[in-house]
Structure 1
Amino acid sequence: MREGRLILLGVGALGLSCVMTQLVLMRELLCALTGNELVLGVVLGNWLLLMGAGAWLGGRSERQRDALAKFLVVQIVLAILPVALVLAVRVLRNPMFGRGTTVGLGAAVAASFVLLLPYCLAAGFLLALACSINAQGDQVQAGAGRVYLADSLGSLAGGALLSLFVVSGINSFALLAGVGLVNLVVVGWLAWGGMRWRVVGAAMVSGALLALIGFGLNTDALTTAVQHPGEQVLFRGNSPYGHLVVTQADGQLNFFQNGSPVVSTPNVAQVEESVHYAMAQRPEARQVLLVGGGVAGAAKELLKYRAEVTCLELDPLFLALGRQFLPENLADPRLRTLTADGRQVVQRSRALFDVIIIDLTDPMTAQLNRFYTAEFLAEAKQALTPNGVLALAVGCYENFVSPELGRVLATTYRTTQSAFKNTIMLPGGRVFFLASDGALGVDIAERLERAQIPASFVTRHYLDAMLTPDRLADLQRAVTQPAPLNRDFNPVLYFDCLRLWASQFHPRFGIVGGATVLALGIYLARLRGPVVTVFASGFTASSLEMVLLLAFQALCGSLYYQVAVIVTVFMAGLAVGAAWANRWSVSSAQPATGRSAGTQGLGVPEEHRSLGFLEHAFGLRGHGQVTPRAPALLVPEGQAETCRDGTSPPLTTKPAKVLAGLAISLATLGLLLPAGLNLLSRSVAFRGSALAVQIIIAWLTFVLAALVGAQFPVANRAAFQGKITSASRLYTADFLGASLGALLASTLLIPLIGVTGVCWLTAAFNALAAVALVWKRS
């Protein structure tokens, strides 16, 4: 039917909306929950989990009347919901959790679950409903594959628009209102063609409301002021690296990045400790590299020494705001201020530095962890003079070393010792690590006095109280425990830092957590045949994508600018894989006649059956008469009529073989990927060409996505159980597998078992799924 084909346009618009909504809500929740990578993993896991639940609910909608009208109404709701959800995040955050408080892990799980619930359930339900509408005629089995492809193409468009959002800094309300208007235009067009005037009217009213909120009212400014009561908002905006807000209250300037305060002036204690502990070791230093901290005043403090200072900040907008609101910290002509990735500068620097200071927050993300790995420390040593000093800081010591803090200190200490002969620890406001091949000492006060360096906070009285023998001995005892090296592809330190952060909230597993694990266990135990394979591919897609993103950061530097490109490449791979699978499915399933069953069953006139590649891709056009080697149907002889009637045939032969082959291909990719990434990291030729590494990682991303995208249409044919039942089960398995992969890979599996362990785990999972599929077929 015509409506089944036109509904694909609505599914594409839904895919576009889902990608952009996911991006914006993840950033808004990151700001509201003052979160880290663990919070991002929780939000993404909840998103995919609830999408799977929505698809499962959609499986019960096969016999609904006027399904198209329901599809259009739900899509109108989905066009408005994202803007409403962002409003809720910004307005309700302070009343629910209190202003300035850090939200615990349990509260973050609950808040993100409740917030995402309406949108994700409705979106998942809509995908399953679209499969029912689209499955018509003799090609009912191909309906889910066409919907999957349309969704992938819409997501591909969303990934391309993601680049515009990242670079241009469009605010959340304008972006979501624009995406919502696109969905409403599609809804209005579909409703107009079907003469559903009420739906057309609802779409027009909703569009006017979205335009008012997104472009008419200054909603972004109003809600930002609500988030910072009692403060004057001097600036708000987005950069490719996060959401930035600058406020002023009682003469104090506050810089917020992604909801967390990163600079507050004046903060003399933090600035002086960051500078003088390191510089006291080499007060005669002539070349100093400062990574971070320049806006806060560390670069200005370094000018008390006779040194040329190179200051690096990653975010150009953050640096511009520092120059605008704190010009005294950056205006001195002796400062050389650059916007660049600190690790890349260290890798490529031809000049040698006497001191390198890493003035960054604790490595609770993979991005920050890159500056605390054995590989970076070895690179930094090459950029230092023979007796140069490297300084960094982690944790916060207050006369007690908890087990979690002890693990962080031990891992950091062992990692610094892997590159330098000498390492000392100083318990200040944070625990400062100084590493060098030359002599180091804890007599900071004497050294500063000999060099005649004035200080307001780091004075003899303060140092005598902080650097006492018992405090120093306490740190030394903490680092005697066994600890692993923190590496690029085995980032254990950022997992340890996440554990340290979570320990302050005393998280409990609880009844809800136990019930969730039990329900997931029961679900997994009941999976059979192609559904297992789709679940494994969803898990693999999320896990290996995390691996590739981590590899990109480690080998190429900051990921923020390129993340949109990688997302777009992944979505393109999904679309290409799904298109191939749909085309293969239709060509393999053609009856042995000269007419195309794809168009014959849809009642499309003969003169309208030449739409080119898209018809082939969506399975709406056949390939003529089938040769004797291609079976007319994908079921054993004598069961073809059962399939045409839409009932549940047994597992079919050819799709099962293809599906098993795709699973084995994913397993092979997982087995070979660690060797390929290690080769990239060790190869001097590739190290010298970031572009070559980017191209290779993009190609690997495309191959991974193409294999995953091809599985869904093939799996739907392999175990068809009605227009919507099979699609619902497969969508649920896909989303739940991806949810589990997203939640576990970045926050648990990669830090604990490393990149190689994760890749081999996914390989084993897919190989077992292929074996189970072949065993059931036999």
Structure 2
Amino acid sequence: MNMINSVYPLLPVFIIIVTLYFISWLYAKWDIFSLKIHRKFWNYILLITYLISGLAGLIAVVKINYKIEIPVYDKLLNWHVTFGIGMFIIAFFHLLNHLNYYFPLLFKKRFFQKKIYNNKTSATDRNQFVYLLFLLGAVTIISQVIFIREFMSVLAGNELVLGIIMSVWMLLTGWGALAGRQNVPALFSFQRGVRMLIFLAFIPVILIDLIYFLKYLLFPPGTIAGLGTALAGALILLFPVCFLSGYLFTAFSTILSASANKNRIGSAYAYESLGSLAGGVLFSIILGRYLNSIQILGLMTSAVIIICISINGRGFTKKTLFFLTAGVLLPVVIFISKPDNWLKKILLPNQNIILNKSTRYGNLVITEQAGQLNFYENNYLQFYTENMMANEEAVHFAMARHDKPEKVLLISGGIAGMIKEIMKYDVEKVTYLETNPEVFLHWKNHLIEQKDGDCIEIVRSDIRSFLSGTKEVYDVILINLPAPSTIGYNRFYTYEFFKIIKQHCNNLTVVCTNLPSTVNYPEENALEINSSLWKTMGMHFKNLLLVPGEKNYFLASDTILTKNITDIIFRRGIETEYVNQYYFDDNLLDMRSSSIVSQFNPHSKINRDFKPYIFVKQSHHWLSQFNINYWFIIVIPALLFLFFFFKQDAVTIGLYTGGFTAASLEIVMMLAFQIFVGSIYLASAFFFSAFMGGLFAGSYLKTTEVRSGLINHYYKLQFGLALFAMILPFLINMTDYFSGYAIFIRLIFFILVFILAFGVGFEFNLASKLPQREFSMISGINYSTDLAGSAFGAFLTSLFLLPVLGLVSTCLIIAGLNIISGTVTFLFCNRK
């Protein structure tokens, strides 16, 4: 029996439960939480699986015995078996924990002497914890970027998935920080910290493998993993890393403060941020450019082991030698065995992987299948060769309508075979760009097979950056990009993009772009997407024509666009295999076109860069496949954010709002950067690095020890963040005037990110010195509060505030929150 992709998920349930149980047991062994809590948690899970499996089984018995029709019977049966599997596995662990009770003669009860922990930390160990904080920051930032990349790649995710991953990461990290606020100095040692840090560096290697393996087991090729799956997967697979990293920050910062009998939580935050800065820069410059995820994690684990051994300073023991050997061999084994290729092949069955490379634009994978080449970016199919129908439609629908096309701009699709079709018009020059220019470095020979290769100009640049920096005018512009399912692709369907396109047109230029077909029973959101694009293009061109084919092709020009495509092709003697009078009827094509256009909403909104209406509707369309309402997943987090906002005190409200502000405005600037410069895939690590550099500078800044002065700085800083949020839209719009100067734009954005992070880091520094609590309580509460605000900011801004309300409204809302929090602190200051 084939257990892969079977009806009942035996292997996935087994893998998930065993992994989580091991992690839970290990954390209990490390005293992150007690063994009693570990067992209590699994007893509750055992009870839940028993109740669900038993109830579903009873309903099945009733149906069979009394012949009652139950519409959801198949789902209940699946639940009965799935939870039954889970109940058996958990019960087996429960039995192992109580063998001495069931078999007292075979397993005598052992009495363990309670461990006595040394409460004192030597001066050497105190300095060593600074190194551990630095390593913690580096490990965390590298792991975070890799997990985001891999989740987005495996789930072919958009900003909805990204928002979930980032929010779950921050919430779980905050939970771990909160869990570490009790009695850390009494239960912790440098050696334990080292073991935990090595585990934190290594466990992502296993978890990344599980992401691919579970995706393959649960979702056969061609099926889509829904939002619920993304949430469940993030909670399960990110818990070991995020929870432990949050706990370790509280533990390290508490020991650093307790050993000096002085509040050094701000300094601990600075050391961790400095490590994140170093890790982000290293990832951006070297690791992310040349290595895949598993190779990076292997090298990171090896580096952590070697550094920890070198700073331990206790000589070589057998255990030390074992770890050192493992640290050296791990990356060697990974580089030789190339496990990343195995993982990619799991999701691309029956395809031969020709190229698997990390680029600054994304992970590029090229596969071969029965002579056809498939090009994937971040596991998303960009295009494939040998698709004669798509190539002919994308080219001839537009090219045939221009009397004499000489200069052609081709945006994606050349390698797929479109250049061959373009050459049938005897053009003088074809300017060809791809969303990932790295494709040209590895497949240029396949592109230029014909003798006309000299007239092809390959441009290795971001598409919008190139168009902003050239004054070339084209006769035909062909745009063949994936649907705007992400904000990254949406920027090629906006008012601002077609404004740039219009600058490269003359009165006879024909522009063509496309969307997925809506010929048969169009879904409401899909129809609204087409309506918005139609209206957006109509803002710049006098004449529009929709041609339904394998896709909906949108043609735009300032000249009249004739409708009889087959007559034109016949008269001009253009040789085609598919787009001709044998397969197309002009009258029928015109009727279908008119029918679709008549359904367009005349009141549809214009799609803009900073108000991406099409992306929002595309998200609605995507969610409709899983019967999930878009507004439901927005309203619940928004209400939770407001609930916790009004639950904060005069100190934590600033941290909560500061975390929200930091995450929200960073997303705003990353989107703006992507619009103006592109290549956010690699730039995200630069953004994180600039942000961490600002956090380090702000949190390490020396402050007054006078409480009144601290509060005075604290509320003024919140008003300062409000002012920054209010002027940010102006600064971003000013950046548009420097289009074409990518280096200067990068510098502007990195300075803005640094300033934002400096303010937030200084805010954390001040907040850590205001409360009169134990060091562990201050560290755990402040860090978790900051991360909770960041989680809500990342989720709500990327999914609702920015796409729906736009740039200005988003920044004004953020400014308003900071004014409220600053006012609360100001009133508290006056009352005191």
Pairwise TM-score range, normalised by the shorter structure? 0.7 to 0.9
Spell out the pairing of 1:606-625 with structure 2 (5 A cutoff). Answer: none
Residue 616 of structure 1 corresponds to none
Residue 239 of structure 1 corresponds to 359
Whether the aligned pair in 1 keeps the contact of 2:466 and 2:740 (CA below 8 Å) is: no
TM-aligned CA deviation for residue 738 of structure 1: 1.3
Q: Deviations over 1:298-340 (max 9, x none)?
A: 1221111122221112433312333355653897333222222
TM-aligned CA deviation for residue 707 of structure 1: 0.5
3-state SS of 1:361 partner? coil
Shifted more, 416-425 versus 519-528: the winner is 519-528
What amino acid sits opposite 1:737 in the alignment?
Answer: G
Residue 811 of structure 2 corresponds to 759
Of 734, 755, 759, the residue aligned with 1:679 is 734
Q: What is the TM-score with the length of structure 2 in the denominator?
A: 0.80
Shifted more, 396-405 versus 512-521: the winner is 512-521
Whether the aligned pair in 1 keeps the contact of 2:484 and 2:493 (CA below 8 Å) is: yes
Q: State how far apart, in whole Å, the 2-side matches of 1:711 and 1:679 are.
A: 28
What amino acid sits opposite 2:412 in the alignment?
Answer: G
What amino acid sits opposite 1:257 in the alignment?
Answer: E
Residue 105 of structure 1 corresponds to 227
Residue 56 of structure 1 corresponds to 178
Residue 764 of structure 2 corresponds to 712
TM-aligned CA deviation for residue 66 of structure 1: 3.2
3-state SS of 1:102 partner? coil
TM-aligned CA deviation for residue 208 of structure 1: 4.8
TM-aligned CA deviation for residue 83 of structure 1: 1.2
Residue 605 of structure 1 corresponds to none
Q: Does 1:691 align with 2:813?
A: no
Q: State how far apart, in whole Å, the 2-side matches of 1:439 and 1:8 are.
A: 70
Unaligned runs of 5+ in 1: 590-633, 635-651
Does the C-alpha gap of structure 1 residues 561 and 25 become closer, same or farther in structure 2, counting only changes over 3 Å?
Answer: closer
Does the C-alpha gap of structure 1 residues 439 and 470 become closer, same or farther in structure 2, counting only changes over 3 Å?
Answer: closer
Residue 768 of structure 1 corresponds to 820
3-state SS of 1:210 partner? helix
Does the C-alpha gap of structure 1 residues 397 and 322 become closer, same or farther in structure 2, counting only changes over 3 Å?
Answer: farther
Does the C-alpha gap of structure 1 residues 305 and 705 become closer, same or farther in structure 2, counting only changes over 3 Å?
Answer: same
TM-aligned CA deviation for residue 213 of structure 1: 4.1
Q: State how far apart, in whole Å, the 2-side matches of 1:510 and 1:279 are.
A: 42
Residue 794 of structure 2 corresponds to 742
Spell out the pairing of 1:165-204 with structure 2 (5 A cutoff). Answer: 165=286, 168-193=289-314, 200=320, 203-204=323-324
Residue 610 of structure 1 corresponds to none
Of 566, 570, 573, the residue aligned with 1:449 is 570
TM-aligned CA deviation for residue 759 of structure 1: 1.0
Q: Does 1:499 align with 2:646?
A: no
3-state SS of 1:710 partner? helix
TM-aligned CA deviation for residue 191 of structure 1: 3.9
Shifted more, 527-536 versus 130-139: the winner is 130-139
TM-aligned CA deviation for residue 73 of structure 1: 2.4
Q: Does 1:292 align with 2:384?
A: no
Q: Does 1:280 align with 2:400?
A: yes
Does the C-alpha gap of structure 1 residues 774 and 288 become closer, same or farther in structure 2, counting only changes over 3 Å?
Answer: same
Whether the aligned pair in 1 keeps the contact of 2:410 and 2:432 (CA below 8 Å) is: yes
3-state SS of 1:460 partner? coil
TM-aligned CA deviation for residue 430 of structure 1: 1.8
Spell out the pairing of 1:396-415 with structure 2 (5 A cutoff). Answer: 396-415=517-536
TM-aligned CA deviation for residue 225 of structure 1: 3.4
Q: State how far apart, in whole Å, the 1-side matches of 2:483 and 2:635 are.
A: 31
Whether the aligned pair in 2 keeps the contact of 1:80 and 1:206 (CA below 8 Å) is: no
Of 432, 440, 452, the residue aligned with 1:311 is 432
Of 136, 141, 148, the residue aligned with 1:19 is 141
Residue 561 of structure 2 corresponds to 440
Spell out the pairing of 1:332-343 with structure 2 (5 A cutoff). Answer: 332-343=453-464
Of 494, 497, 505, the residue aligned with 1:373 is 494
Spell out the pairing of 1:249-648 with structure 2 (5 A cutoff). Answer: 249-307=369-427, 308-324=429-445, 328=449, 332-464=453-585, 468=589, 470-507=591-628, 522-560=643-681, 562-580=683-701, 583-584=702-703, 588-589=704-705, 634=706
Of 237, 261, 266, the residue aligned with 1:115 is 237
Does the C-alpha gap of structure 1 residues 137 and 157 become closer, same or farther in structure 2, counting only changes over 3 Å?
Answer: closer
Does the C-alpha gap of structure 1 residues 509 and 346 become closer, same or farther in structure 2, counting only changes over 3 Å?
Answer: closer
What amino acid sits opposite 2:352 in the alignment?
Answer: Q
TM-aligned CA deviation for residue 295 of structure 1: 1.2
Q: State how far apart, in whole Å, the 1-side matches of 2:535 and 2:546 are.
A: 12
Shifted more, 306-315 versus 541-550: the winner is 306-315
Q: Does 1:135 align with 2:257?
A: yes
Of 145, 152, 157, the residue aligned with 1:35 is 157
Q: State how far apart, in whole Å, the 2-side matches of 1:228 and 1:358 are.
A: 27
What amino acid sits opposite 1:317 in the alignment?
Answer: E
Whether the aligned pair in 2 keeps the contact of 1:656 and 1:718 (CA below 8 Å) is: yes
Whether the aligned pair in 1 keeps the contact of 2:487 and 2:612 (CA below 8 Å) is: yes
What amino acid sits opposite 1:231 in the alignment?
Answer: Q
Whether the aligned pair in 2 keeps the contact of 1:72 and 1:199 (CA below 8 Å) is: no
Q: State how far apart, in whole Å, the 1-side matches of 2:475 and 2:137 are.
A: 52
Q: State how far apart, in whole Å, the 1-side matches of 2:560 and 2:369 are.
A: 45
Paired residues in the alignment total: 707
TM-aligned CA deviation for residue 448 of structure 1: 1.8
TM-aligned CA deviation for residue 60 of structure 1: 3.1
Residue 8 of structure 1 corresponds to 130
